[in-house]
Chain A
Amino acid sequence: MGVLSVVLRSRRAATVPALALGALVLSACSGSSLGQSSGGGSGGEIKVGLLVPLSGVYAPLGQDMRNGFQLYLDQHGGKLGGRSVKVVTADEGEGPQTGVPAAQKLVTQDQSSVVVGVVNSATALGLRDFFTESKKPLIVANAGADAITGSGKSEYIWRTSFANGKVGAPLGSAVAKEVDGSVYLIAADYAAGREMVAGFRKTFEAAGGKVAGEKYTPFGKTQDFQPYLSGIRGSGAKAVYGFYAGAEAVSFVKQYKQFGLADKTALYGTGFLTEGGVLDAQGQAAVGVKTSLHYSTEIDTPRNKQFVADYRKAFQKAPTVYTVQAYDAAAVLDKALANTKNSDGTELIKAFAGVGTIDSPRGQWSFDSNHDAQQKYYLREVRSSGGTTVNAVIRELG
């Protein structure tokens, strides 16, 4: 759909046909089953709406999430809490303009009892009122805006992933101890970037760290980081803390190496900087980058090793943090549905409150009072291992 925006920006004459095309494309994306079975009631089959991006820049994340949810179902005979599950998938797309209608379709048309997924934070926040008013639970399995379980929290919204501010926070004090000198902060200029930096900065400065500079780069528009990298060099910083994801993470980490900063200035970041397909594309350029995240394929527990092996067997690739977040959403539903016969929204959220500790590949975690995941964070370092690169776990962060 971005092609259309190019046309919209560059050639006003083409606007109307472009919009018509866009409408066609959108309607083609959202086709899926038109089942009529009722969502509420007790026992029997339960319908779960899976709202993940299958097109656009977040499509790789959506694929990982769908695989994670599917793996849990396959491991449990297609049942959650002893009830057979029908999964209805809808394409979240890139933003709220596609994600919100897709979620509404899952609930009103497909009669899903619960919706799982949502990558984009704006979509999650935009859906808050809809889910609260229609009294259906939404399990957010990625979107990280602090407000989702903070100022904008709702009794119907639960999160198995993370809050942006909490991912950077545990790294702050660790970096303040590890780095002898000031640290430069750089991130993509949007809500997630600012929250990731703010979370880090708070604990970093509380632990006595000094900030050499702070820069936000235009989100989604920066392909060449050289001017910023020169700025970092000029600041005399001893280390850098950064947040990028997707294509920008690849460009940033590769150019950080190409312009010779990697050898002198340690690079820290939140784990999204080096996660999944992004790390594959970065290759050896990412070696030595240290990040904080609530998961790594290298966590050395029998639970995780089994999970990674099962996932590799099913999908011929390594799982990612996104996989685990959706996998755990299925685990939450499994436990909750075992405790309630009724799949009415009001009953489900009571059951969510009682799921207790989830034994996840990431370690044990539980919902806090704001319905956010309370979990351990790991300090990870990219290491070269047998021709590929992995996020080795150094230690747990306090």
Chain B
Amino acid sequence: MDTYLVSVLNGLAMGSLLFAIALGLSLVFGMMDVLNLAHGAVYLSGAYVAVAVVGDGAGMAVFVLAVLVAAATGAILGGALAGLTRATPHHLDQALLTLGVALVIAELLAVGFGNDVHSVAAPAPVDGGVTVFGETYPVYRLLVIAFGMVLAVAVYFLVERSRLGSVIRATVADRVMVSALGINTGRVLVGVFAAGAALAAVGGVLAGPILGAQPGLDEKVLLLALVVVVIGGLGSVRGALLGAVLIGQVQALGTALLPEYASFMIFAAMAVVLVLRPSGLLPDRTAVHA
């Protein structure tokens, strides 16, 4: 039984990371109607920032610096992607465009960092393990769970309770009316895109000590994020959270309980959701709610 509790814990850690990564993808799709296939590449950029800044081991200050550098990198990439995709209103064009950008970014990263597998050490003070349910568990993963909780609460307050959040929601609901009030809606949309990309890049740093960085990781992460978005429902913060936690648990518990079907489980979960609730568990097509 304890073994399964550890798996649940581990699923929460993966869920926290997936939430940070999928949130941007979901909001951008839901609010701007842009499918950003370069999202995984933005994540990988963050992971390589961690490789470059943190590397084989560093203190907490350096790790926080890596998070900030990654956030800035992600925001710049997101802003650029927002500009690019605004010129192409069609989904297929956007998909091809962002896919092309993803290939370019991935290739540049491979040129810069080589094709080798890189790993990132957890910051020194939390590098060890603690005993949880009778098993050794890495402290760093517990911190990742805490980060996921803080992020969920922060995003809730930002989108649902703040003035900025109400502007964002209003922009999605009626863009013309908001601009008539004297608000630059283009800037709001670029800001959301940049913030989503920044979160993905930060996710890359935070996932560094768990998943490392190597060519091809961007696609695996993008695939998982897409599954989370499909399960949760487009453009919904709550949906992204629910989807991320669900996929985290399916991955962790599924592997523990039914190892033979592990790699197939998340897609089975997605298929079940699509059959029962085709628009996702917590869809949000008309307005944004946290």
Contact = CB atoms under 8 A, between A and B. Distances in A.
Range class of the B interface residue count = 35 or more
Select the residue from A9, A17, A228, A260 with max chain B CB neighbours within 10 A: A260
B95 A259 contact: no
A218 interface: yes
Given A59-B115, A227-B259, A230-B6, 18 more contacts: A2-B219, A3-B222, A7-B37, A7-B99, A11-B95, A14-B95, A21-B99, A25-B103, A57-B216, A60-B114, A60-B117, A221-B263, A226-B10, A226-B252, A227-B10, A247-B217, A281-B117, A283-B56
B212 A281 contact: yes
A277 B210 CA distance: 18
B220 to A, nearest CB: 7
Interface of A: 2-3, 5-7, 9-11, 13-14, 17-18, 21, 25, 56-57, 59-60, 63, 215, 217-218, 221-224, 226-228, 230-231, 233-234, 246-247, 250-251, 254, 258-261, 277-278, 280-283
Contact of B226 (A10, A63, A226, A259): A10
B164 to A, nearest CB: 32
A7 B135 contact: no
Contact of B106 (A3, A5, A230, A250): A3
Nearest to A263: B136
A63 B251 CA distance: 34
B255 A227 contact: yes
A203 to B, nearest CB: 26
Contact of B96 (A2, A14, A258): A14
Interface in B10-69: 10, 14, 35, 37, 40, 56
Contacts of B210: 223-224
B278 interface: no
B262 A218 contact: yes
Q: What's the dominant secondary structure at chain B's contact region?
A: helix
Contact of A3 (B7, B102, B119, B252): B102
A258 B138 contact: yes
Contacts of A218: 262-263
Per CB-CB distance, the 5 closest pairs between chain A and chain B, nearest first, are A260-B136, A59-B115, A218-B263, A277-B116, A227-B255
Nearest to A5: B219
Contacts of A5: 219
B269 interface: no
Interface string B248-289: 000111011001001100000000000000000000000000
Interface string B137-170: 1100000000000000000000000000000000
Contacts of B217: 247
Nearest to B262: A218
